[in-house]
Structure formats: structure tokens, C-alpha cells
């Protein structure tokens, strides 16, 4: 699922992206606009003539036009929700993932209160899947327990006209995946100070999620998808972990169990990838992969395909980190190396133990400001090489394109 961030840097497929706002007063005009876009895509695929506003297209027969219009009307009626539990109409689409899509929305209340929020909505193709809907609702309930400075807050959730939605805190900025990808292309990574700031923030968030709920009783919420795309960054240097959509409560009786692999293979702990039960140390391994990538500029275990990546992780087959990041604090490098141990019992006991290790390498006082400057500068590349927080890295090993394994059901 996409993270809830404003300023997404990935374009949507032609004919799929659109904006819905209060300015679009005439619903039929909006329908015609999107239908025209869909028909133009269909025309281009069929090398046919184009026309405007949903009129007859010679390359698209009448039956397909009718089906496209019906689907468009249904889609827009779901998306142009004029008010959902206090939320104004959706304004702009932020992104789409495999299971849900996210939108910018306005939340209004008494006394002129107004707040920009992110609304996540299950894709129609999943809305009829009871198991997935239950998982989505579980995300809302679990995430609602979490109130931490480095976790994106859940503001509301519900169902309107069979559309299941989740309203989340909006983080204006980017995500860590985009930042790392941008600088990897330049042969740069993050320096030890910024990486230490990221490590402390995420370890603190995981310590909270793994350990407590609002009654102070263990909630045991395991994220199971710690990865750069789920770390949101703002120009103010804020860092928020998001997307607990595949989290589960370890200690709650009757919590749903699934045999499906949930997460991203390059960041996945080997025991979890091989079907063993996930736990806090599963998240810690994923955090180790993320931090290694921050410092080295590439992921530690990537192979030519998913099975090879899992095998590398299981065998601890990777390049040592210290030569790749010679200027990083030794305590930080040692902590990352410990997180990447193939056997869970050889990793730190929990996030609290990791934080104790990280106490030996506190982030610089200006790390947050430097991170914010980095995010702000991503809209234009001028002067990036002179910004604090960047470090030259060795090029990533040459690798073949990875083949993805089919997900386990």
C-alpha cells in the first residue's frame, strides 16, 4: 500500500490518474473527462482515432464504451464522497498500490477547523474479499492504539457505499525510498549522522508498537513491512512510520493468522520468508536492511531473483558494512550488523535493546534540520552535493533484474 505522503514522485498510468474537487460541480462533466481519458488510452492501445469528452470513438466499440462509462460512473461515485465522517470531498489522488489507493482530503469541523489528511481506500477489486476487508479493519483498530511521534496517526475509519476507508495523518514531503533511490543514482548514501537519526526514530517507534498499548498492556504489534517506502519524511525533518496494514497483534487471543507472505522480499527476515512465525526480531531484521541501505547505498542481500535473495539472507551472504561506510560511527555499524544476523536469537532481544546500543552513537543536534533540507531540495538538484548528510558510497554490485516469486496464499 502506498504511504500517506503529499508530493508523491511516481506518476500513475495514463488514464488512471485524476483529481476530484469541489470545483467539479457537474458530476457528468467529471465523468466525461475521465471517460474521455480512458477511451483515449483504449484508442492508443488499438491504434485508433481519438475524440473528445466520451463521444463515439471509432477504435472502441459501443459495448466497450458502455462498460467503460459504467465503471467510470461507479468509480467516481465512490471517490467523490462529499462528506465522510466529517471529511470534505477528496481533492487529489496521491498514489495507488496493489491493494489500496490514497487521496488528499480536507477534514473540517466546528469553528472553522480545517485539516489536510490522507484517505486510504481499498481498491474495488478487494472490497468484496471478506478476509482482506477484515485485515484492513484490523489495521485501523491496531493503528488507532498507536500514539507516537514517529508513527503516522490514524484519525478515522469506516465504510461508505461499500468503500472501506482509513483517514491518516498527512505527511507533506517524500518517503525514504525516493530519497535513497535519488542518491544511489549519484553514487551517494546517507552519512552516519542522518542514518543515526533514522535509526533512533524507527527503533523508538518499534519499541512503542511492540511493547505497549494505551492501557500499558503489551500490544505486541509487529509491522512486518519495514521498508523505505513506509518511512515518510517532511521538509521539517519529521519522520513517520506508516502502513501497519499487515501488522498483527501477537498477544491477543483470536488474532488472525495468515500463511501469506506479507512484506517485501529484499527487506524480509529469512525465518519469516521461510514460513516461520513473525515477531519483534522480524521487524528488527528489516530495520537492519533499511539502515544498511542508508549507509551503503544498496541493499545487503539482493540476488538475481527472490529465492536467491532469501538464500543470501539465510546464509548471511553480504558485504561487510564497515568498508562501505568507513566514516560511520563504529557503534552504528555494529548495531546494523547485529540486526542482520540470520538467526533471530542472535539479534538484539528487542527494540529497547537496540536503543541501548544506539545510545553510543546519538544523532547530531542538527540531524533533523539536515534531513528536512534534504527533503526540501529533492524538487531541484542544485547544490545537493554540498548538503550535510550525504556520503560517497561504492557502486552497488552489478545484478540481474530480479524475478518475483508468486505470493503464497
- CB under 8 Å to 67, separation ≥6 — which residues? none
**CA–CA dist 33, 3 (Å, integer):** 27
**Could you tell me the three cell numbers for 113?**
477547523
CA dihedral sign, ordered 34, 36, 38, 41? negative
- Catalytic one of 225, 283, 306, 350: 225
**CA–CA dist 67, 71 (Å, integer):** 6
Q: With CA atoms as reference, report the closest residue to 18 among 43, 51, 1, 40.
A: 40
Angle, CA 250 vertex, CA 210 and CA 341 arms, to 5°: 60
CA dihedral in degrees (73, 75, 77, 78; nearest 10)? 170
Examine the residue annotation and report whether 225 is marked as an active-site residue of this protein.
Answer: yes
Which residues pair with residue 221 across a beta bridge? 249
- CB under 8 Å to 34, separation ≥6 — which residues? 15, 18, 72, 75, 76
Q: Which residue is associated with the grid cell 542538527?
A: 366
Q: Which residue is associated with the grid cell 538538484?
A: 381
- Which residues are annotated as catalytic? 225
Amino acid at each position: 500500500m502506498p504511504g500517506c505522503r503529499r508530493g508523491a514522485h511516481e506518476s500513475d498510468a495514463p488514464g488512471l490518474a485524476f483529481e476530484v474537487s469541489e470545483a467539479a460541480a457537474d458530476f457528468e462533466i467529471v465523468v466525461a473527462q475521465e471517460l474521455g481519458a480512458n477511451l483515449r488510452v483504449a484508442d492508443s492501445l488499438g491504434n485508433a482515432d481519438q475524440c473528445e469528452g466520451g463521444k463515439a470513438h471509432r477504435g472502441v466499440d459501443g459495448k466497450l464504451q458502455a462498460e467503460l462509462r459504467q465503471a467510470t460512473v461507479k468509480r467516481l461515485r465512490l471517490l467523490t464522497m462529499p462528506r465522510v465522517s466529517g471529511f470534505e470531498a477528496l481533492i487529489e489522488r496521491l498514489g495507488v498500490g496493489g491493494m489500496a489507493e490514497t487521496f488528499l482530503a480536507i477534514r473540517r469541523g466546528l469553528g472553522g477547523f480545517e485539516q489536510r489528511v490522507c484517505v486510504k481506500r481499498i481498491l474495488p477489486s478487494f472490497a468484496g474479499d471478506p478476509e482482506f476487508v477484515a485485515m484492513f479493519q484490523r489495521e485501523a483498530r491496531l493503528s488507532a492504539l498507536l500514539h507516537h511521534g514517529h508513527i503516522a496517526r490514524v484519525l478515522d475509519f469506516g465504510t461508505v457505499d461499500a468503500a472501506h476507508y482509513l483517514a491518516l495523518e498527512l505527511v507533506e514531503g517524500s518517503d525514504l525510498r525516493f530519497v535513497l533511490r535519488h542518491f544511489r543514482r549519484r553514487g551517494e548514501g546517507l552519512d552516519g549522522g542522518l542514518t543515526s537519526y533514522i535509526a533512533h526514530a524507527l527503533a523508538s517507534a518499534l519499541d512503542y508498537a511492540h511493547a505497549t498499548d494505551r492501557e500499558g498492556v503489551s500490544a505486541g504489534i509487529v509491522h512486518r513491512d519495514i521498508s523505505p517506502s513506509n518511512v515518510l519524511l517532511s521538509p521539517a525533518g519529521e519522520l513517520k512510520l506508516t502502513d501497519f496494514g499487515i501488522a498483527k497483534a501477537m498477544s491477543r487471543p483470536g488474532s488472525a493468522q495468515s500463511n501469506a507472505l506479507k512484506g517485501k522480499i529484499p527487506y524480509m527476515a529469512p525465518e519469516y520468508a521461510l514460513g516461520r512465525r513473525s515477531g519483534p526480531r522480524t521487524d528488527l531484521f528489516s530495520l537492519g536492511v533499511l539502515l544498511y541501505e542508508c549507509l551503503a547505498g544498496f541493499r545487503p542481500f539482493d540476488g538475481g531473483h527472490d529465492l536467491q535473495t532469501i538464500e543470501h539472507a539465510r546464509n548471511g551472504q553480504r558485504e561487510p558494512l564497515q568498508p562501505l561506510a568507513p566514516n560511520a560511527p563504529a557503534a552504528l555499524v555494529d548495531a546494523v550488523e547485529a540486526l542482520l544476523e540470520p538467526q533471530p536469537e542472535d539479534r538484539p532481544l528487542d527494540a529497547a535493546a537496540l536503543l541501548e546500543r544506539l545510545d553510543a552513537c546519538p544523532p547530531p543536534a542538527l540531524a533533523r534540520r539536515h534531513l528536512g533540507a534534504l527533503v526540501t531540495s529533492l524538487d531541484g538538484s542544485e547544490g545537493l552535493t554540498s548538503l550535510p548528510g550525504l556520503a560517497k558510497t561504492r557502486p552497488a554490485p552489478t545484478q540481474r533484474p530480479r524475478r518475483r516469486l508468486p505470493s503464497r496464499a
